[in-house]
Structure 1
Amino acid sequence: MGLGKQECSRDMEIQAREIRESSNWIRQIVQKSHARNYSEDSTHSWSLDVPYTNDCETCVVAQTEDLADTGDGPSYELDSVPLIHRFGIHASGSLAESNCSTEGRLDLQQRSPTPKLKLCMFVLAHAGMIGYLCALWQLLANQTELFWHPILMSVSLVLATESVLLMQFAPWPAPTHKPTHVFHYIAHIVSFLLQIVGIVHYAKQPSSVQRSKQSAHKVTGGLAALLFGIQVLFGVYVTWIAPKVGGQKYGKGLYKYHRAVGYIVLVVQWAGTWFGVHEKWVQSEMAPNECTWLLVFSALVVGVLVPIDMSKFGVQPA
């Protein structure tokens, strides 16, 4: 065991000499690896560590960035970013400490969706939303009078889904794409308000006009509205209040929970919609098109859930 550690230490010393001799070349690679544009007055520091496996032959590199507060809300730490493999360095070119432990962090490229996969899922999810709107149009076109509840709820759902998809497709870390965040905030607030209006409009209808009694759609829809309201308030707290109350580190720590709850709320919303399109009055109008709903919802589920980037939750491999 001791001999193995000595061999590992010698390998590390050799690597350290190679790094010092080519430090300029290494810094150029580090700069190219940053796929983000920080302003000149932004401060960011980086450090690398090299956890080894049992045989000390495979190592992965992780990066931690401390971003300056831009004033546009909390900045969020990048859990790990792939940089240079098999070299452990700090910005000064010195060798990072390593005890050859078996606990290593998985490279971001190995646990994050590729850009091509994200693009394909982005297109697939939008195809599902377009298919849903087309099916809804066909349903409402057969009605003798305009029924506002499904219209308001559908617009709300599309806005909520679109804001989540754009956040998935946007670069990371968060402060580098402010327009996307602004749209995310506005879209969710408008979506929540439309959902409330849709529910109130339906509740105010006389019982003879209401299309269904107590059902899975009503229960799931009410739960979705409640969770959505909590999520909107939680998002406001995480973005603007938490950093001022508990500091940037506290705000960063809450962000991953906001993301997780957001996906849960979106799934519950679409579940409520699924039960809604299976209400008796909808089925009586569109019973032959059951396969349409199945394709639409399958495209949405796959398009939204497959490209989830687990590194943004701080998830480490087992």
Structure 2
Amino acid sequence: MAPSESTQPPPPLSTTDAEPAVPTESEPLLGRPGDAIQKPDAPMFLNLVLGTAWLSQLGALLLLVTTWSAVFLHKLGALISPHPLLQSLGAFLLIQAILILQPTSTPADKRTGQRIHASLHLLSFLSFVSGIAVIETNKHANHNAHLHSLHGYLGVITGTLLLAQYAFGICMWLVPGVLGGEDKAKALWKYHRYGGYLLLVLVLVTIGAAADTDYSKGVLKIKGWTFGLGITLVVVGVFPRVQLRKLGIDRSR
């Protein structure tokens, strides 16, 4: 039987007429509730620049353009040049994957955001793996040490943790049964989010360490301040948009 047209609509989420209704998860780490939350029926792509995200986009583009221009303005090497190109592309895609999902609030938007988030992370993962394969092939071919810099050590640690994070996310999203069922998997989402933000920091620190390698300084002539500025912009763009309730934090109590 069709529902009656006289059915009363649900009460607004806001308690005052002066403030717009906002979902319960809309309180960001910095700013006011609703500052960085996707509005109903708003295009998903706007999440990439919503709130402070535009600062992250500037930082992500600065890191990408600085790296790619430095590589193509110098002599290319088949077993070395693809590494910074692919790793910087992977980092750029990883940042987009975080930004697209952060502001989602309704179940439908969350599902769409999760699919795009997963797709971007898949592309990011393939880019990272390809870049690692290139540099490891180069080291093997030239009999170079595999770990001889802070960047190298951070790369191994970050790559390993990223793989674990991807596996964790896939299990929660596609096969929650392996974690004890859908309800238990949902209870673990906040840990996936914590892990994601921690890994973003590790990725950015690894990028910063790359600017101090002999190849970056001696061959590509990359200026450390450009990476520092790009990393800072990404951080100040992403973290103010963190939705506290999605992390299990309720400051209203």
Which residue is equivalent to 1:132? 63
1:311 to 222, 235, 245: 245
Alignment map for 1:54-69 (pairs within 5 Å): none
CA distance in 2, matches of 1:121, 1:268: 21
| Contact 2:28/2:240, CA 8 A, preserved across alignment | no
Structure-2 residue corresponding to 1:68 = none
The Cα offsets for residues 258-282 of structure 1, whole Å up to 9 and x where unpaired, read as 1111111121111111101221221
Given the alignment, which residue of 200, 209, 212 partners 2:133?
200
**Farther off after superposition, 189-198 or 268-277:** 189-198
Contact kept? 2:172, 2:179, Cα under 8 Å: no
- Flag the structure with more relative contact order, 1 or 2, with Cα contacts below 8 A and sequence separation at least 6: 2
Residue number in structure 1 paired with 2:111 = 178
- Which amino acid in structure 2 is aligned with residue 296 of structure 1? G
1:239 to 132, 153, 173: 173
2:93 to 159, 170, 175: 159
2:238 alignment partner, SS class: helix
Please give the alpha-carbon distance, in whole angstroms, between the structure 1 residues aligned to 2:172 and 2:226.
Answer: 39
Picking from 156, 163, 173, the partner of 1:222 is 156
> Does the CA-based 8 Å contact 1:243-1:249 persist in structure 2?
no
1:120 matched residue in structure 2: 51
Offset at 1:208? 4.4
Matched, 1:253 2:187: yes
| Counterpart-to-counterpart distance in 1, 2:186 and 2:222 | 49
Matches of 1:143 and 1:287 in 2, distance apart?
Answer: 9
* Larger Rg computed on CA atoms: 1
Amino acid at match of 1:201: V
Q: Give me the whole-angstrom Cα distance separating, in 2, the residues matched to 1:243 and 1:175.
A: 22
- Judge which range, 227-236 or 198-207, deviates more: 198-207
Instruction: Please tell me whether the aligned partners of residues 156 and 191 of structure 1 are also in contact (alpha carbons under 8 angstroms).
Output: yes
- What corresponds to 1:273 in structure 2? 207
Query: What is the CA distance between 1:189 and its match in structure 2?
Result: 1.8
Q: Which SS does the other structure have where 1:284 is aligned? A: helix
Structure 2 partner of 1:142: 73
- For the residue of structure 2 that corresponds to 1:145, the secondary structure is coil
Distance 2:108 2:185 in 1: 13
3-state secondary structure, aligned to 1:172: coil
Shift of residue 200, structure 1, vs aligned partner: 1.4
When residues 272 and 234 of structure 1 are mapped into structure 2, their CA distance, relative to the original with a 3 A threshold, is same
User: CA shift at 1:308, angstroms?
Assistant: 0.9
- TM (norm. structure 1) is 0.61
Deviation (angstroms), 1:157: 1.0
Give 1:166's aligned amino acid.
I
Would you say the 8 A contact 2:26–2:243 is kept in 1?
no
RMSD of Structure 2 on Structure 1 (CA): 2.8
Change (3 A) 1:154 1:212: same
Looking at structure 1, the residues matched to 26 and 105 of structure 2 have their Cα atoms a distance apart, in angstroms, of 13
Residue of structure 2 equivalent to 1:188: 121
Unaligned runs of 5+ in 2: 1-7, 17-23, 38-49
Cα offset for 1:84?
3.3
Cα–Cα, structure 1 residues 300 and 209, in superposed 2: closer, same or farther, change >3 Å? Answer: farther
TM-score w.r.t. length of structure 2: 0.76
**Count of matched residue pairs:** 220
Identical residues among aligned pairs (%):
21
State the alpha-carbon separation in 2 of the partners of residues 256 and 271 from structure 1. Answer: 23
Residue from 221, 226, 229 that aligns with 1:292: 226
1:284-314 deviations in Å (ceiling 9; x for gaps):
3566833322211110111112211111011
